[in-house]
Amino acid sequence: MKPETGFYTRAHSDSQSYDFYRAESENAPLLLYVHGGAWRYGDKESLFASENGVHRLREVFHEAGFACASINYRLSDEATFPSQIHDVKAAIRHFKKHAVNFGIDPARVVLAGGSAGGHLTQLAAATGGAGDLYYDGEESATSPALAAAVSIYGVSDLRTIYDDRELQGFPRVHPDDEDAEVRLLGGQKPGEPGSQAEMNWTLAHPYDLALSASPQTFAPTYFLHGTADSVVPPVQSTRMYEELSARGIPTSLDLVEDAEHADIRCYADPHLEKLKAWVLEQIS
């Protein structure tokens, strides 16, 4: 199934483009996917075809009656944070604003993301109705609030990834790191006093937002994570799940036994069927 393509900002840049897979019926729920890649690489085309099974999300949800979409966003070599979450919010607003043209129900938008995309998905779930320009990027009459969110081996606290690896018995340094967090946030932790990097190191963590969350401020969120993930340790998801659960926010956690980061086993049918059932429950 070839997607429709377009842009979700007036810039008409590939960095702010989308692929859209139309549902067979009108007023369909939308699954909007944010790709991973350490905020410095990756592409929306992974939802069309992938080696690790990401495209199975589209297949499973499209069969369930969803429209599906995947977006590109500005990577860290083009723009530092919070540009990435601004792009995600702009895409959500675009699909909602043009819901009739896309044949979707703007009240049933579900955001999903893997790894770096999972980080951005969690941030969007935590700040959809806050009206905070740091996260939203601009004022708009169209709310970026979500019906639900899905974080797949996503980052919830950029400050603790290295310590969490050691905590869970993994090597502290991974060959693919390449200072991904520093590149994203614009400088070494904690950033120069008064700098944008300092603000980013303070505000870019979904976990902090979970500590003060409520069912009114944080969208229902599902976590899918491999127990053998040596890049983003699974505790990054289990902590979030525990905090949201304690605050009465609808959430669920699926740990995939022995699965590494971006492991094809995360997209096996039993896990995707469980995920689909949870999402359908949230949007019903």
Parse the chain into domains and list their residue ranges. Answer: 4-283
Condensed to tens digits (0 to 9), the pLDDT of residues 16-39 reads: 999 999 999 999 999 999 999 999
Condensed to tens digits (0 to 9), the pLDDT of residues 158-200 reads: 999 999 999 999 999 998 889 999 999 999 999 999 999 999 9
**DSSP labels for 125-184?**
HHHTTT--HHHHSS--SS----SEEEEES--S-TTSHHHHHHHTTS-SS-TT-TTHHHHH
Closest CA to 240 of 174, 180, 153, 136: 153
Structure tokens at 209: 């937002």
Between vectors from CA 228 to CA 111 and to CA 211, what angle results, nearest 5°?
50
Q: Predicted confidence band at 110 (pLDDT cuts at 50, 70, 90)?
A: very high
pTM over 0.85: yes
Contact at 8 Å (CB) between 267 and 235? no
Contact at 8 Å (CB) between 63 and 56? no
CATH of domain 4-283: 3.40.50.1820
Structure tokens at 178: 């390449």
Task: Return the bridge partners of 149, or none.
Answer: 111, 221
In the prediction, which pLDDT does 130 show?
Answer: 82
Average pLDDT of the segment spanning 263-278: 98
